[in-house]
Amino acid sequence: MTRSQVDGVPRPVMLAIAGDSASGKTTLTEGLVGALGEDRCTSICVDDYHQFDRTERKELPFTPLHPDCNYIDIMEQHLQLLALGRPILKPVYDHATGSLVRPEYVEPKEFVIVEGLHPMSTKLLRACFDVMVFLEPPEEIRHQWKVQRDCAKRGYTPEQVLADLERREPESEAFIRPQRRFADIVARFAPVPGRQDPPGTPLSAELFLRPTIRHPALSNVLTDNLRNAMHLKIMRDKDGTPTDCLHVHGHASPEEARQLEKAIWEELETAGGPPEQLGQITPDQRSEPLALTQLILLYHLFQARDGTGR
């Protein structure tokens, strides 16, 4: 154990998962918490730092995507405290009722996952993290996910959700998507263009593994026999910077995926094998691309804990 300490308090490893509303943050987070165990891993959602409840927001000219709708300064304070191993009294926004309720005492554990709309939106926030991830599914997929979730769990009609998405678009562009450029990993879950996979085939993952942190040495692992379902290539990102891009196809068989998982896991020199909890979308639905994405994140969390990361 080489975790750094401040005044004798161990510092947790901090992972940011940013992305627009319904981009898959919670699904990604839940698998990681499940794999690490709740005794070792805490997750918080920084969308709880709303300044206004749902009724108050109706009077306002901006949506929750606007930084002014959130206590970004308090978010900065709290993430700094967590990064130093200190507890916080976190505000709680009840998505079911749209109201701000009794806050919650949160103590950091060995790993802290911070997901939400704005976790990487300021320099002070970003300074709190060991690893930063941005999720960017294609917009049409994200819109489907948002309609499904907000109607099922938050009491909205599909028309309301679609109107809301339209209203939010300028602020998505101005405040959410710009966080992408600070991410160490950008993950895009999407169908493979031009393929006619059978219904129920999981989405493929396209992972931009940027050289801001040291990634597992996949170029040795991805030998010819895997290239059908997975491949790694160097490319230029949108902004022109070089990056590795790992594709894991949704039609990859569990056996193919396991080979890659095992290779990544072995680099960690950690006992056991990859945790079973990775890749769960629902209790009955598993996705190898999701499992591999989570495994790469676990890899980074363990590297950061052992001080062999950045």
Contacting positions for a copy of itself (CB under 8 A): 51, 53, 71, 73-74, 77, 81, 86-89, 91, 99-103, 105
Output 88 or 186, the one with its CB closest to a copy of itself: 88
Nearest to 232 by CA among 296, 179, 182, 291: 296
SS3 at position 92? strand
Closest separation in Å from C-beta 49 to a copy of itself:
8
Contact 44, 35 (CB under 8 A): no
Give least dist CB 86 to a copy of itself, A: 7
Question: In the complex with a copy of itself, which residue's Cβ is closer, 6 or 89?
Answer: 89
Q: Which is nearer to a copy of itself, 53 or 306 (CB)?
A: 53
- Please state the closest distance from residue 40 (CB atom) to a copy of itself, in A: 21
**Pair 191, 227: CB distance under 8 Å:** no
**DSSP at 240:** S
CB 120 within 8 A of CB 25: no
Which is closer to a copy of itself, CB of 60 or CB of 89? 89
Least distance (Å) between residue 116 CB and a copy of itself: 16
Q: Which is nearer to a copy of itself, 92 or 192 (CB)?
A: 92
Q: What is d(CA 38, CA 56) in angstroms, rounded to the nearest whole number? A: 35
Any idea what DSSP says for residue 212?
Answer: T
Q: Smallest distance, Å, CB 57 to a copy of itself?
A: 14
Contact 156, 97 (CB under 8 A): no
